[in-house]
């Protein structure tokens, strides 16, 4: 997936905290509710009335379309609900067992940390965040030229599969949407779409790789890797 950006530079009020709030939603969050909550938070961050936020959720099974999604890549339109996400990229799946992290950061802020100032650098930082989190499970996540997301290679078999997706939007230099890490989703659910428009490779998860990680363990790995990449404490 890629980025859909609408950017207007602005100054950040001095009273906003340099910490990034870290929240975990209970249960399964309906996708329209998540979109509405992100939109409101982005506006509040831009206005200087709310701190930045990493929001971890799980969704019921559904498909989302990015701004580049092709109708033909929705293979089973009646299988799960579908939503226009407004982010960059193509089709993706969300569902139970997948840790989705919605990241709402003011990319225009400067606090001495290595905060990405452009969309490409921001996506690279999200990739690095996922790679470092996966490393805590002894999984080597890798980038691929021309394919946003994180991949796991089986060099003996000569194959590879996607373990985490990335799709973002930036409004007024505030990011939203984010990443989706496959912990233990039902991988059969991905067959209803062409994930991110890539037909040549499949998808995988920590459980499919033989790593029985819990959602809590995945969250702990993401949290531990956060400050290494973004330089701000998750609060």
Confidence of residue 2 (pLDDT cuts 50, 70, 90): very low
Chain centroid, CA 101 distance in Å: 5
Predicted confidence at residue 200, as pLDDT, reads: 62
Give per-residue pLDDT as tens, 82-113.
999 999 888 999 999 999 999 999 998 754 45
4 in active site? no
Mean pLDDT of the chain, nearest integer: 87
pLDDT for 116 equals: 57
Under 8 Å between Cβ of 106 and 180: no
Superfamily of 3-230 according to CATH:
Bira Bifunctional Protein; Domain 2 (3.30.930.10)
pTM: 0.88
Q: What pLDDT was estimated at residue 35?
A: 97
pLDDT at 148: 80
**Count helices and strands in the chain by DSSP H and E runs:** 3, 12
Q: If you compute the radius of gyration of the chain from its CA atoms, what whole number of angstroms results?
A: 17
Domain residue ranges of the chain, discontinuous segments joined by + = 3-230
CA distance 214 to 10: 40
Which residue out of 196, 209, 218, 222 is catalytically annotated?
196
Alpha carbon 66 to its chain's center: 13
For position 6, what pLDDT does the model report?
37
């Amino acid at each position: 997936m890629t980025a859909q950006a609408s950017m207007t530079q602005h100054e950040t009020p001095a009273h906003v905290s340099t910490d990034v709030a870290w929240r975990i939603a209970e249960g399964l969050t309906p996708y329209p509710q998540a979109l509405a909550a992100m939109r409101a938070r982005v506006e509040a961050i831009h206005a200087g009335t709310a701190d930045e936020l990493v929001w971890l959720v799980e969704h019921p099974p559904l498909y989302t379309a990015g701004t580049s999604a092709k109708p033909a890549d929705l293979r089973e339109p009646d299988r799960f609900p579908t939503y226009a996400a407004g982010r960059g990229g193509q089709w993706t799946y969300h569902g139970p067992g997948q840790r989705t992290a919605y990241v709402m950061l003011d990319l225009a802020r400067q606090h001495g940390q290595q905060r990405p100032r452009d969309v490409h650098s921001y996506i690279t930082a999200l990739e690095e965040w996922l790679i470092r989190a996966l490393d805590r499970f002894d999984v080597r996540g890798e980038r691929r030229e021309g394919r946003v997301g994180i991949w796991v290679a089986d060099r003996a078999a000569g194959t590879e599969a996607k373990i985490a997706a990335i799709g973002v939007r930036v409004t007024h230099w505030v990011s939203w949407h984010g990443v989706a890490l496959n912990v233990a989703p039902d991988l059969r659910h991905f067959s209803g779409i062409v994930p991110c428009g890539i037909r040549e490779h499949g998808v995988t998860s920590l459980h499919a790789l033989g790593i029985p990680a819990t959602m809590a363990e995945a969250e702990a790995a993401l949290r531990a890797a956060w400050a290494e990449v973004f330089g701000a404490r998750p609060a």
